[in-house]
């Protein structure tokens, strides 16, 4: 998923700049990794708790399952795992 995430971010950069972007540089990749949440349900919970601790209980996030190369079955699995293993921790 991470490669797909970088691809999507590169495409957004092209859209906003109006120019072709060959590859994201290492610094931009590090910034994106710091902002994105990937991992096991336990890792995702830990990262979301970090945001909640910093921002309080009024935290909203965008959950994106589509990335190039990810099939529908994998996307459905991600949504199910989020609902079954992550969301209950915050209810």
Beta carbons of 6 and 24 less than 8 angstroms apart = yes
pLDDT-derived band of residue 29, with 50, 70 and 90 as boundaries? confident
Determine the pLDDT at residue 58. Answer: 78
What are the sequence ranges of the domains in the chain? 1-36, 37-91
Interval 34-63: pLDDT, tens: 888 888 999 999 999 998 898 888 777 778
Helix, strand or coil, per DSSP, at residue 70: coil
Beta carbons of 78 and 87 less than 8 angstroms apart = no
Task: Tell me how far apart the alpha carbons of residues 7 and 13 are, in angstroms, rounded to a whole number.
Answer: 10
Which tokens is 50 given? Answer: 């970090």
**Residue whose entry in the numeric block shows the structure tokens 């601790």:** 53
């Amino acid at each position: 998923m991470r490669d797909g995430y970088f691809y999507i971010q590169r495409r957004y950069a092209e859209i906003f700049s109006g120019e072709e972007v060959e590859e994201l540089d290492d610094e931009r990749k590090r910034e994106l990794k710091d902002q994105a949440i990937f991992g096991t349900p336990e890792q995702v919970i830990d990262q979301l708790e970090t945001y909640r601790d910093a921002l309080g209980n009024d935290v909203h996030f965008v959950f994106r399952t589509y990335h190039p190369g990810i099939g529908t079955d994998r996307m459905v699995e991600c949504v199910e795992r989020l609902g079954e293993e992550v969301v209950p921790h915050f209810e």
